[in-house]
Structure 1
Amino acid sequence: MHESRSRFLVGAMVVGAAFAVTVSSGCARLSTDTALAGTSVTSAGLAAVVSKAASHAPARSGDERGARVQRAEKGSRSLGSSFDPDTPVDQLLGEGDRPLAGNGLCPPDMASIDDRFCVDRFEASLVEILPSGEERPWAHYMPVEGHVVRAVSERGAMPQGYISEKQAKEACGRSGKRLCRAAEWKTACRGPEQKRFGYSDQLEAGRCNDHGRAPLGELMSTLGGASKAGNMYTWDKMNHPMLNQVDGTLAPTGAHEGCTNGYGVYDMVGNLHEWVDDASGVFQGGYYLDIHQNGDGCGYRTDAHNTSYHDYSTGFRCCADVAQ
């Protein structure tokens, strides 16, 4: 039992080191019209933004990641025949790999939900995995089509929008985790006392990032107003990189310190919608413009899109099974 828990925790840590118009549910009618009124985001333009973002962040070498794996394997082998099955799990791990106090059987970047399952403390940001095996931070305002990315849960990061349920599941899997099931997500959001907004049954202004600006209005202004911008609810415009860079919209993870509960999870209400594992396509929790239209706070649920849909408001976090 103890040996299997050790393998789980070491493995998890090695793999996962990583217009005044309010749009209904953060996403509007999906249109096949992808024209951007002469200012569409071309593939070359998107690539340029990605390249620029990547150039400002150091890559993580494959050698570094390999060394971490070797250290973990060496530690596991060093137990040898002297392994004492009564040794506490946290004494078998390096200091950086130990669960936080009271964290049960979950890795440090995850919260234990009554030792039933683990959930990321923060909304997911991403790192890109290059063909060489190197990793580099991914720009949070860029869709991920054509790139290999994995999920990271850390405080102070800009969480990833512009991602579909399918892509979110893949990103969690590459970090040794999985997308949360709907019931798991809601349980974690409501906290140990099962409150409507996690922190309370009553909404408290400013507690979470749920009263932000409408970025589509900013985009319309940039494109020359309604007469020139045309239909704002096209795929390109709903995924425009500018949207989550507008001041007063998306916030870094954990920036709203009161937006938490007794489990120690943050931003489950507001900031970004969060995909859950549902074949019909479901995201929960609301985002920085709306936490009421499809249910209040932790009860917010949208099921109007398929699993390949994404826009600026759609994010996620990962879950995992506890060690057995």
Structure 2
Amino acid sequence: MMLRILLILASLTTPAAAQTLAQQNARMFEALDRVHNLSARELARIKEIFAASGVAGQGNPAISVHPLTPEQCAARIPGGPSSYDNARNRRICGDRYMAPLYDPATQRPEDAKACIDMFEFPNIPCTYPVVWIKAREAAQVCAAQGKRLCDAHEWEGACAGALTEPDYRFGAGSVAAMRSWHNNKYAPTKNWAYGSSYQRGVCAADSAKSPGCAGGGFGRCGSNTYPTGSFPGCVSALGVYDQHGNAAEHMNLPLAPDQMTSAGGMGVTEMKGSWFIFDKYRAHEDWCRWRAPYWHGSQVMSTGSHANYHLGFRCCKSVD
């Protein structure tokens, strides 16, 4: 297993400036197929989504400067990247590198009705996360694998260490009113994946923006992320990594019960977590159950949904 992981990492380590985005994505697709055992149809659909985007990938390889290489990431993990694989979780979730979502106070992992990717897509440890992807495209990539975009409360429960019942306050009348009620409810007990207070140096949040990156642009802003799982201490009690730092993440915020992805629907966009310069510039709150303002908001499936250099995603999956 360790040899297999090292071979996968080797396929992802061509110097960034030597690659085109298409070459970078091709290597990622190869690793994605090997690790997650995709069908030919699933892989073809994912390739189609990325090709149609033209910018989705691990960042502009001409200007991205990553603080760590995949090999350096592997050396930081006790037991190596393969130690993140968990046979029990694989049995429950039906895929590698997924974690069951449940409430440890009243449930066992086997009671979980949903699972979440342990890492940001492509959900392979010691791999740079995908960015420059719209919420619509993220939802399509998840669906191509038999997964779905996570509902906001699922991501929050994964981070906080306990999945609670959905509590979206659908009758509040607006996204802002829903957010205000929710944040006021959880603020007294706020926590981060790693503990009860914000700490620098624990997560992948000490990188830097590219020179000249004022607010965005594929040609100006490098995705200077860390390989996923580089910070073994940046993990929740449910075993989910990098929910603070690295890439911010697209989620689904339902405005009605039938808009939960866990119910087969789709609502509006919600951005979760912090990003790769957060230890240097703490731009907003990022505790686990905090819901952000309606930044760049749209319907999840809008063709105009937002994408940028530090915004990625992870997937959830309903299980029997």
- Normalising by structure 2, we get a TM-score of 0.54
Instruction: Extract unaligned runs of 5+ from structure 1.
Output: 1-47, 70-97, 126-152, 221-231
Deviation at 1:240, TM superposition (A): 3.0
Question: Is 1:106 paired with 2:93?
Answer: yes
Shift of 1:283: 0.7
1:202 aligned onto 2:177: no
Query: Compared with structure 1, are the counterparts of its residues 311 and 261 closer, same or farther at alpha carbon in structure 2 (3 Å cutoff)?
Result: same
Q: Aligned equivalents of 2:306 and 2:41: distance in 1?
A: 36
* Higher Rg of the two aligned structures: 1
Shift of 1:263: 1.0
What is the CA–CA distance in structure 1 between the aligned matches of 2:317 and 2:30, rounded to whole Å?
Answer: 27
Distance 2:277 2:21 in 1: 26
The alignment yields a C-alpha RMSD, in angstroms, of: 3.4
Which residue of the partner structure matches residue 238 of structure 1? 217
Match of 1:50 in 2: 21
* Partner of residue 296, structure 1: 286
Distance 1:268 1:175, change over 3 A: same
**Greater relative contact order (Cα 8 A, min sep 6): structure 1 or 2?**
1
1:275–1:315 CA contact under 8 A, matched in 2: yes
2:212 to 213, 219, 224: 219
CA deviation vs aligned residue, 1:246-298 (integer Å, no higher than 9, x gap): xxx31011001110022111001111111101333211111112385432332
1:155-234 correspondence runs (5 A): 155-192=125-162, 196-215=191-210, 218-219=211-212, 232-233=214-215
Q: Sort the Cα spacing of 1:104 and 1:196 in 2 relative to 1 into closer, same or farther, 3 A.
A: farther
Counterpart-to-counterpart distance in 2, 1:53 and 1:250: 15
Q: TM-score, normalised by structure 1?
A: 0.54
Question: What is the one-letter code of the residue matched to 1:110?
Answer: M
Structure 1 residues 1-324: aligned runs within 5 Å: 49-53=20-24, 100-101=87-88, 105-107=92-94, 108-114=96-102, 115-125=112-122, 153-192=123-162, 196-215=191-210, 218-219=211-212, 232-233=214-215, 237-240=216-219, 243-244=222-223, 249-278=224-253, 279-290=267-278, 292-298=282-288, 299=290, 301-305=292-296, 306=298, 307=300, 308-323=305-320
Secondary structure at the aligned position of 1:238 is classed as: coil
Q: CA deviation at 1:103?
A: 6.1
Deviation digits for residues 37-76 of structure 1, max 9, x if unmatched? xxxxxxxxxxx8234435767958x9x966999xxxxxxx
With over 3 angstroms needed to count, the CA separation of the structure-2 counterparts of 1:276 and 1:67, relative to structure 1, is closer
Which whole-Å CA distance do the structure 2 matches of 1:58 and 1:180 have between them?
Answer: 22
Cα drift, residue 242 of structure 1:
5.2
Counterpart residue number, 1:145:
none
Distance 1:154 1:57, change over 3 A: closer
Give unpaired runs (5+ residues) of structure 2. Answer: 1-18, 43-84, 103-111, 164-188, 254-266
Percent identity over the alignment?
Answer: 26
Q: Tell me the matched-pair count.
A: 200
Contact preservation (8 Å) 2:221, 2:309: no
What CA distance in whole angstroms lies between the structure 2 residues aligned with 1:284 and 1:253?
16
